[in-house]
Structure 1
């Protein structure tokens, strides 16, 4: 890893929950239940106004303005969503008699414009694909210009929408020169109940951080339909900053996003910290990460020396600690719950009223269980992503690498590996793993770049010729170079090689990792020396959660794990040895119980 001596600013997010809420003016405490109710009223006002605004703006003219990026006077639209909405005259509507502060309106318009801007790209793609779509065959023609190119995975989703629309129209397709818009093939998007306070100013909310405590002051309504300004009061929320952020060089704390989940109010916060500035062109060592259908990923190291590129071809395979199997089980469970709920819905459409009520109750229970399964899967995916990021970052830091090369996810498709492997790879949280890897690698000054994935597992890193599979799918061997090994490790060497050769031509876009789009080849020879550190692989041993063993009493045989029971005062008569017993192999009869002796003693 190259140390440039400079620092760069980066943003990251975290979540926390308030443990104290008080009225800002009177200082009276507010219970958690009352706080959740008042936050729910705020989110209902915001989500209702946002949904109504999106439905009103769901027309082609809206996307034409966003695609052009200019208003009616030819001025460039600002980046701030609420400012752009104010310039275009997009104002939300609220129920009659309800008073909403203008800062809350800023939050509504900022969220709505952000959603529409994200869908403007899909509208442009649908225009290009619908012009090349053939309803009779359900296929799209090849693009004629570079501007018409759309990722294949994205194109397949649009083709499904176009096919469904053609079937709904009973095969009556539009004219060849007519182009569809996003408003023709799908309905307005559903909005989630949240409040991004970063779009407002101090009149709505402000944040202060003192030590390990965060204090958020925000205006909340005191009624479901506030009629005036007096029914909006400031509430001071106190939350704890997570312990892993206490010693981080954080330069700025940003206003959070309010969200309600099954546990209550959740604060989705963001912060800016200073990290070592990464230099993409100075390093000579790179780590390649190949996504695998069997596990989340594998890594290998390639080094550039004056004699050329070298690697020991000893890769590191990520151990998911059994979480992948758990994710597959939860996915199957969610699919079964979804299928069962869908079947009950079909039955409920023709069932009598009394039976329909019972079926609807069961459907609600199944939907709740399916939601809980989805929450579990999200937590496991996040845990696996950050654990994977820490493992690969530790490997890169120990090897002195300055670049981590990952496969370009836009060109990576899960096809041709069988139903089980395709499904496992498609459900893998690769995008979340890349984000986690980027976050952890930036903390040690390592840059994560994306490189083309085509041919990385099929070509030899030395001669760039197709590899053979003598030991099956997971093995690779080159007869010419006499190198090979695990298929994923060989692919990781290819990815690291492409990062080192194309680092001078990396393309940087705002909000994305640097991209290397040109594939260059140079032979990577096998080095006998150990080029990479041995990764730490802790053993996960079972821990017995039972109660600790008691201390043996004095006089008890220490070889026994369980202390002998305390003798009874009535156990004074030893049973006589039965006649005819000559050895230990003989079967002993039950001794005479001591209770009869005790009874005789008591009767005397």
Structure 2
């Protein structure tokens, strides 16, 4: 149901940590360190069983079944991973003498099936690309069937894999994913959403979440008695207080440097989107200099109009910090790779020292990666809040972003291309969709091709009179920053294609075709007024500085403190203010040593 005042349910994720743990049977408190140890035992069992199941299923027949989506009785496989695994007979194995509840096996199979289903698409694409790969030239021929087309970036990665494996020989028919790469590594986590109340359940008490979960009491539990229920209590984050959260789902348990971390999912009610009645749209263009820029387009009785004055996001210097951390990580990676090559041919005693250095470099590189992830998250949500506030102030109902699947950073040099490719664009889109949905604004993906190269008014190529960052249309007499012009094009495509939006479960709406309509320049007040810089604070408690009279009267700074060498200089004649035209005689000055000796 859509319309004014209607709501829609959406899911979001949040992280939290437990601050109280008690035994569910006896009510005795349990230390959080002990809980971390017991959760670690659970994750070890899940990770070991998952890795063994993935390696056992790593064969082409597995991906054939997943691609067909049918079981042995030609019935459609269910969406739940653990149910599909039970239909297919995929059961995890555990060491002899270890007892694991069947609900934990559900968690294992659900995670394994989700991973294999993700790789089934890659297996199909590799089979199609390997048939078109020429080992002599290392190139891919043009696709002959419409289903063989894959994104360009994905095709380049597969081509590198095929070139590294081929070694100059012709591949025998179509290759599968199992032939060019090994089984993926499984993460140490437990998705409790695949289980039921016999393993875990979650309740809400005031502003706290109470999770009851069965954990092993030893690393190799031998029976059911060595699995005991633990009641964990965690606080709901403050930014969720007052939000219309209707349901909390079972979390995913992971261990990080600080201990047990909950990755919770929740369902809340947000204003429903109404794209058919949208009249104002904001277009967001990904900029090579900053994370993004936005522009506004409004639809009225006389067509589309825009003031062609956009807004550019200020990352507060976080982009420079990310570039520095990226360079540091690349240097650490290069040094570790060089030491690895040296250690391969070094004597045993030298190899041990080199391996210790490599371990230190890997630890530093991991720390740099964690820091980059934290900055990217902060940057993405700050950008999302700024764009959402800009759209809300302008009264927009739609935010148009470029389709990231067709957007590639090329032609700006190796360093700039790599830096732009490492930016947090996808994180920013996810954060923007989440933040904008909370105020009833819909984020739509539109085609990116030609957005900054074509005029929004006449759809003709733009000129670059001032260089790369400027754009001008001689026919329409409009121009400005190229990112702002691209934002106008993106917003126009969202308004023109709002009735032809493709919706898929779990993804944002997509406009496939870029339509054109002239956007006239309007001087009306449509966009929000940019904030002006505040006046600089002046501390009134400081004493006023006296004006310095001397060589440079423009500098109103206090005179420096006199030194002992200044005391021996002669006094200038009467009426001399120390200008450049008057030179004092040094003959009458006593020697410095005499002056100091007389004191």
| TM-score greater than 0.5 by the shorter chain | yes
> 1: distance between equivalents of 2:176 and 2:534?
55
The counterpart of 1:309, out of the listed 282, 286, 304, is 304
The 5 Å alignment of 1:353-364 reads 353-364=348-359
In 1, the alpha carbon distance for the partners of 2:106 and 2:209 equals 24
Partner residue, 1:132? 132
CA distance in 1, matches of 2:441, 2:394: 11
Of the three residues 501, 507, 511, the one matched with 1:512 is 507
Q: Residues 193-212 of structure 1: matches in 2 within 5 Å?
A: 193-212=188-207
- Distance in 2 between the 1:542 and 1:163 partners? 62
Partner of 2:405, secondary structure, is: coil
Correspondence 1:484-495 to 2 at 5 A: 484-495=479-490
Unaligned runs of 5+ in 2: 546-566, 579-588
Cα displacement (A) at 1:536: 3.9
- Partner SS, residue 293 of structure 1: coil
Offset, 1:418: 2.0
| Count, aligned residues | 560
| 2:184 aligned residue | 189
Whether the 8 Å contact between 1:395 and 1:535 is mirrored in structure 2 is: no
**CA positional deviation for 1:238:** 1.1
Match of 1:600 in 2: none
Matches within 5 A, 1:87-486: 87-167=87-167, 171-175=168-172, 178-486=173-481
8 Å contact kept, 1:462–1:523: yes
CA-CA distance at 1:136 after TM superposition: 1.0
Give the whole-Å Cα distance in 2 for the aligned partners of 1:391 and 1:184: 47
In the alignment, the residues of structure 1 paired with residue 537 and residue 325 of structure 2 have an alpha-carbon distance, to the nearest angstrom, of: 23
Shift of 1:591: 12
- TM-score, length-normalised on structure 2? 0.89
- Cα distance, 1:273–1:591 mapped onto 2, change above 3 Å: farther
Aligned counterpart, 2:22:
22
Asked if the contact 1:294–1:421 (Cα under 8 Å) also holds between the matched residues in 2, the reply is no
CA 1:541–1:124 in 2, change beyond 3 Å: closer, same or farther? farther
Change in 2 beyond 3 A, CA 1:361/1:283: same
How far 1:307 moved relative to its partner? 0.7
- Change over 3 Å in CA distance of 1:226–1:528 after alignment to 2: same
TM-score normalised over the length of structure 1: 0.89
Which has the higher mean CA deviation after the structures are superposed, 129-138 or 269-278?
129-138
Distance in 2 of aligned mates of 1:324 and 1:361: 33
Q: Secondary structure at the match of 2:33?
A: helix
Large movers: runs of 4+ above 3 Å: 535-544, 558-561, 578-593
> Residues 464-513 of structure 1, C-alpha deviation per residue, up to 9 Å, x if partnerless?
01000000000000111111100000000000001111111111111111
- Corresponding residue for residue 41 of structure 2: 41
Q: Determine if contact 1:286/1:496 at 8 Å carries over to the other structure.
A: yes
* Equivalent-residue separation in structure 2 for 1:590 and 1:307 (angstroms): 89
Maintained 8 Å contact 1:162/1:185? yes
In structure 1, distance between residues paired with 2:508 and 2:344: 50
CA RMSD between the two structures: 2.5
User: 525-534 vs 440-449, which deviates more?
Assistant: 525-534
2:558 corresponds in structure 1 to: none
Cross-structure match for 1:80: 80
User: Would you say 1:531 and 2:531 are equivalent positions?
Assistant: no
TM-fit CA distance, 1:37: 1.2
CA distance 1:198–1:543, change in 2 (3 Å)? farther
Instruction: Please give the per-residue CA displacement for 1:249-299, whole angstroms capped at 9, x wherever unaligned.
Output: 000001110001111111111110000001111111100000011110000
Secondary structure at the aligned position of 2:404 is classed as coil
Partner of 2:556: none
> What stretches of structure 1 of length at least 5 have no aligned partner?
552-557, 562-577, 594-604
CA deviation profile, 1:213-232 (whole Å, cap 9, x unmatched): 11111111111111111111
| Per-residue Cα deviation, 1:128-187 (whole angstroms, up to 9, x for no partner) | 1111111111111112232111111111111111111112xxx22124xx1111111111
1:417 & 1:153 partners in 2: Cα distance? 17
